[in-house]
Chains A and B, each alone.
Chain A
Amino acid sequence: MTYVDDYPKAAKLVRWHFGVAFLALALGGAFGLLQALYRTGHFRSLLPINATEYYTVLTGHGVLLALVFTTFFICGLFVWATTSSLDRPLASARLARVGFVSMLVGTVLAAVAILNGFAPGLPFESADVLYTFYAPLKAHPAFYVGAALLVVGSWILGAVYFLTYREWRTDNPDARIPLQTFMVLTTFIMWYLSSIGVAVEVVVFLIPWSLGWIGHVDPLLTRSLFWYFGHPVVYFWLLPGYLAWYTLLPKFAGGRLFSDPLARVVFVLFVLLSTPVGFHHQYLDPGIADGFKFIAMTNTMMLLLPSLLTAFTVVASLEHGARQRGGDGYLSWLRALPWGEPAFAGCALAGLMFAAGGFSGMINAGMNINYLIHNTLWVPGHFHLTVGTAFALTAMAVSYWLVPQLTGKRLRHRRIASVQPYVWFVGMTLMSNAMHRGGLAGLPRRTAEPLFRDTGAAAFDPVFGSIAEIQFQIAAGATLLVVALGMFLLVMLGTWLSRANVAQLSVNGHIPEPLSGPDDSPRVLDNLWLWTGIAVLLVVIAYGLPLWSMVADGLLQPGAAPIPV
């Protein structure tokens, strides 16, 4: 019996989520290629956009991939993880559908507002505010309402996971929380805590501002609220990837998870430390005391600990799997891993690239060296390694394994699927490497005309190589990425549209027991109220005074009374 046979309603719900996620991935990926070719000056005369529309494309690329693709895929994946690990259906399928519809309506509203940038005759004015949507850039209210509905929909899905867990707990009062459910619940505790920031920003400030109900907003306050959410959202993307690396990758490798307790410790650390870090995106902002920026830097650096624990646990699990498959030696066991299996190769390569992303992230997080790369192309170079590969490639790899179980159909075009993770990996290496080098040379991000004109390259000083070579490498990498994306979508479409039950599936949903199980860890790790309370306390310490100081300086206009009059 596969998942679709055991939980047909939940499987349908996951398929809906994945379907929207893949549509957003296709459109956002196409925007990415347009954007890369335009800003690097390759085939610019053939592209259907001008410099103004570049920002429409940039906004669409960021929102569709970083917010829509991720949120839909994660919420769908978590429906599967919760139901399969608790071995019961969702507590309320109807509520889950409400959450899905809320996210879908929100996405349509925001997408139409963004696409207005191409055709101003559409119902809404444009929303070229980029996916980091804070003042002073202002979008049509539909964009902000859409963003709010997307977040609210994810909250509703989160409530369904918790309700399902509560039902399970009633039936299993003394059992340890199954690891996948533990990961889902801790991820959503972090998500609830952090997304409050963007909810307040959008509902209290940006929607009234865009509707003309209030004349001003304080850019520093809305930026701070955005980044209060804007960095933890990175972990909202990452932790589902961790769920796959901890619970699925060891199985793909032919082995078992090395340590369940270490996995729980890692997720608890993310609950505690993910949110009080946002000021490290605002090192150059005036109006925030350096001490609070320093706290954010310290917390961010401490987040390296769970990532390093993950590297240790996952690599140990892979080695165990490889040795089960006959591998031996200090390193030659690596050859015994199933590199031809797309689900394994995708997850493993994503993890490898995430390590590189972690190193460049340390530069971003350092208060002093951040100044070298702030607002340069280095930053998108970094997050294309993290969300653009650690999450996206893992999501694709998991889909190769999970979609057959959601549809009851064998994976089609297996050879294309086997090649796809490598094409993505090479493409991302080229693009991200060039972006990092461009950032070191001072190339700005978020601009259609980074060189301003052909002779503008002289203004930048690459450590080695030339600006022209960096630009070409970005364009070549982006092209390879879109080729890899096309391969993935072809495999998914081919599988989805094929006939069900014509052949036995080559995958199964069984997750082997860890080598060290939950009973080897203290039960306090499962005390979600405790970790939530400490996380809230840390947020109050990191954000209480600075936010109060901004509000006290005038809620809407700095220098005014705290309450608008």
Chain B
Amino acid sequence: MTADGDDEDVSRRWLIRALVGLGIGIPIAVEATTFLGLLSSRLGGGDSGTEAPATTTASGTGIGEELLPATAPADTLADAFVQVADDAWRFEATVTVANTTDGPYTLKLGAVTTGSGSRVDGGHSSGRVPPGESRTFTGAWPLPAGETPATLDVTGVRHADGGEETTRTVRLGDVPVRG
């Protein structure tokens, strides 16, 4: 065998050793880390295993729930979804206002903030709802493609009390995305 042949043979042998070392070593390291993580979490009282179920912390106002629970009129989120289009997404929210108070009431839907932090202004209103009546209205906000709504600014106005306003930034629960 020539010197070149020897060099090539040695180089090939090292390549194979490196391949086997990395190819087997990386998976063993990944799986060992996983296994130790599981043991530590389940037997060692790891942080994540002792936390309360995360769904409770992530939940926001969902369909069928009130937007302003602290006010007397019932402002119920009747429907909400994101409509997917080619280049832009549109958030639509339908709210039913049941005015159970003695005076007229108006609900306003303001800006939407997406999960990525984009803010989209809005100016939708139920109009003045007389006492004892209900009204349903829908607001729509154009969203950047790929983004979904995280919060919605809501304002309730009680006209009988000198226009007293209750404002809240409502954190939204899971809003379905429709194609």
**What residue of chain A has the Cβ atom nearest to residue B60's Cβ?**
A455
Q: Are A45 and B146 in contact (CB under 8 A)?
A: yes
Given A454-B116, A455-B115, A456-B58, does the pair A426, B27 have CB atoms closer than 8 Å?
yes
The segment from A104-112, A317-325, A458-466 found at the interface with B is A458-466
- Interface status of B136 (Cβ within 8 A of chain A): no
Q: Which of B31, B53, B57, B116 contacts A429 (CB 8 A)?
A: B31
Measured in the bound complex, the distance between the Cα atoms of B83 and A51 in whole Å is 11
Minimum CB–CB distance for A24 against chain B, Å: 26
Residues of A within 8 A of B31 (CB): 356, 429, 433
Q: Which of A51, A52, A422, A461 contacts B19 (CB 8 A)?
A: A422
A428-465: CB near B (< 8 Å → 1, else 0) gives 01100100010000000000110011111011111111
Residues of A within 8 A of B161 (CB): none
Measured in the bound complex, the distance between the Cα atoms of B27 and A459 in whole Å is 29
Q: Are A52 and B84 in contact (CB under 8 A)?
A: yes
Task: Give B43-72 interface residues, CB cut-off 8 Å to A.
Answer: 46, 48-49, 51, 53-55, 57-58
**Main DSSP-derived SS at the A contact region:** helix
B10-26: CB near A (< 8 Å → 1, else 0) gives 00110110011011001
Q: Are A453 and B150 in contact (CB under 8 A)?
A: yes
Given A422-B22, A453-B115, A463-B38, does the pair A429, B148 have CB atoms closer than 8 Å?
no
- Interface status of B179 (Cβ within 8 A of chain A): yes
Given A52-B179, A452-B174, does the pair A349, B23 have CB atoms closer than 8 Å?
yes
Task: Give A31-83 interface residues, CB cut-off 8 Å to B.
Answer: 44-45, 50-52, 55
**For this complex, into which size category does the number of interface residues on chain A fall?**
35 or more
Minimum CB–CB distance for B8 against chain A, Å: 11
- Interface status of A155 (Cβ within 8 A of chain B): no
Q: Which of A453, A458, A460, A464 contacts B114 (CB 8 A)?
A: A453
Q: Are A455 and B12 in contact (CB under 8 A)?
A: no
- Interface status of B30 (Cβ within 8 A of chain A): yes
Residues of A within 8 A of B147 (CB): 453
**For this complex, into which size category does the number of interface residues on chain B fall?**
35 or more
Minimum CB–CB distance for A385 against chain B, Å: 11
Residues of A within 8 A of B55 (CB): 459
Minimum CB–CB distance for B87 against chain A, Å: 8
Residues of B within 8 A of A461 (CB): 48, 51, 53-54
Given A45-B146, A339-B20, A418-B15, does the pair A433, B34 have CB atoms closer than 8 Å?
yes
- Interface status of A340 (Cβ within 8 A of chain B): yes
Measured in the bound complex, the distance between the Cα atoms of B114 and A399 in whole Å is 49
Measured in the bound complex, the distance between the Cα atoms of B28 and A152 in whole Å is 43
- Interface status of A295 (Cβ within 8 A of chain B): no
Measured in the bound complex, the distance between the Cα atoms of B26 and A178 in whole Å is 40
Q: Are B54 and A426 in contact (CB under 8 A)?
A: no
- Interface status of B42 (Cβ within 8 A of chain A): yes
Measured in the bound complex, the distance between the Cα atoms of B149 and A453 in whole Å is 8
Q: Which of A429, A437, A454 contacts B26 (CB 8 A)?
A: A429
Minimum CB–CB distance for A38 against chain B, Å: 9
A331-349: CB near B (< 8 Å → 1, else 0) gives 0000000011000010001
Q: Are A419 and B84 in contact (CB under 8 A)?
A: no
Q: Which of A50, A415, A463 contacts B84 (CB 8 A)?
A: A50
Given A430-B30, A458-B58, does the pair A340, B38 have CB atoms closer than 8 Å?
no
B168-179: CB near A (< 8 Å → 1, else 0) gives 000000110101
Q: Are A51 and B177 in contact (CB under 8 A)?
A: yes
Minimum CB–CB distance for A282 against chain B, Å: 25
Q: Which of B20, B37, B54 contacts A465 (CB 8 A)?
A: B37
- Interface status of B166 (Cβ within 8 A of chain A): no
Residues of B within 8 A of A419 (CB): 15, 19
- Interface status of A488 (Cβ within 8 A of chain B): no
B137-175: CB near A (< 8 Å → 1, else 0) gives 000000001111110000000000000000000000011
Q: Which of B15, B51, B86, B116 contacts A340 (CB 8 A)?
A: B15
Measured in the bound complex, the distance between the Cα atoms of B101 and A15 in whole Å is 79
- Interface status of A425 (Cβ within 8 A of chain B): yes
Q: Which of B12, B13, B26, B37 contacts A463 (CB 8 A)?
A: B37
Q: Which residues of B contact A (CB under 8 A)?
A: 12-13, 15-16, 19-20, 22-23, 26-27, 30-31, 34, 37-38, 40-42, 46, 48-49, 51, 53-55, 57-58, 84, 86, 114-116, 145-150, 174-175, 177, 179
Query: 9 closest Cβ contacts across the A-B interface?
Result: A453-B115, A422-B23, A464-B37, A340-B16, A429-B27, A52-B179, A459-B58, A458-B58, A454-B115
Q: What are 15 A-to-B residue pairs whose CB atoms are below 8 Å? A: A50-B146, A51-B179, A55-B179, A340-B15, A345-B19, A415-B15, A422-B23, A425-B27, A426-B23, A433-B30, A433-B34, A453-B150, A461-B48, A463-B42, A464-B48
Beyond the given A340-B12, A418-B19, A419-B19, could you list 17 further A-B residue pairs with CB under 8 A, ordered by the A residue number? A44-B146, A50-B84, A51-B84, A340-B15, A340-B16, A356-B31, A415-B15, A422-B23, A423-B23, A425-B23, A429-B27, A449-B148, A453-B149, A455-B115, A458-B58, A459-B55, A461-B51
